[in-house]
Amino acid sequence: MKLTSDLLAKGFIFPETPRWHAGRQAFYFVDIDDGKLFELKGGEVRMLSKQRDMISGMAFDDADGFFVASVFDRKILHLKNWLSGTREVTEIADCSTIAENMINDMVRSPRGDFYVDTINYDAFASFEGKAEKKRSPLLRVTTEGEVGSASDATFFANGSVIFPGEDRLLTADTYDACVYAFSINGDGSLGPATIFADLPGEMPDGMCGDVRGGLWVATRNRVIRVIEGGEITDEVNTGDHIASACALGGADGRTLLITASEGHDRRHLWSATTGVLLTAEVEIPGAGLPSLYD
């Protein structure tokens, strides 16, 4: 099924990593280049924090705070007690011993481990064909803040999903044009990479899951729903904007929130602030991390 998207909000640089929090009945997302974290609730957008570095990946803590990936500092920060008013920012992990250049998206597992993407080359130059790409490890950060390589299979790991009740991590790889699957062992380590879906010709980025095991994956000027094996069942067109990520949420879990911008050229994005939030109503409700549905 082909769907169209509606404009919800605009004026961002590069919005990314949307997540739904059912307990708060709100979406959350970041504006990477501006270092900002936002809440979207009842149709209103509210800025919650601004960090000095770019921030990308985001996860919820067990109270009313957040974890964010500080891109060039290559650190995981805890924004503790953020909605209760006693705000505190602490560093929980330094990934720079393994991450050579940047960290990107991340997901927090049910046991509390973080699986964090790295990009060990200049990602912005690579979009213009001006930087050599190389394998960049997927990191595991334990609850104690220990950092280690979980897999060296990825070139440009991006959005990740863990379905309820599954010991499996699904991770998009933008340059390998696929979604990898990794078994999650009892100690939090990952098994070898297998293919959940090959997506030739696509550039899979941020993604989210639904209750039937499908993935909505941002890629180029659309968001596609993919099932295991690679079949594309649905798509949402994003027009002139490049979709960067998506999340399912809303009262019935069927609102697809899409973050998008006019490409990746920072010279244009910083001056034009073309980043937008788009929405579409889909058939199947959302499920799985990094959003919270319970």
Average pLDDT of the residues in 30-48? 96
Angle formed at CA 228 by CA 139 and CA 106, multiple of 5 degrees = 20
pLDDT single digits (tens) 170-192: 999 999 999 999 999 999 999 99
Pick the CATH number of 2-281 from 2.60.120.380, 2.120.10.30, 3.40.50.620, 3.40.50.300: 2.120.10.30
Average pLDDT of the residues in 234-261? 97
Q: Which residue is listed with tokens 């696929």? A: 178
Q: What is the pLDDT of residue 132?
A: 81
pTM of the model as a whole? 0.96
Strand-pair partners of 2:
235
Q: Are 38 and 31 in contact (CB under 8 A)?
A: yes
For residues 17-26, one letter each, b for 16 or more C-beta atoms within 10 angstroms of the residue's C-beta and e for the rest, the string is: bbbbbeeeeb
As a residue count, the chain comes to 294
| Spatial separation of the C-alpha atoms in residues 286 and 20, rounded to whole Å | 9
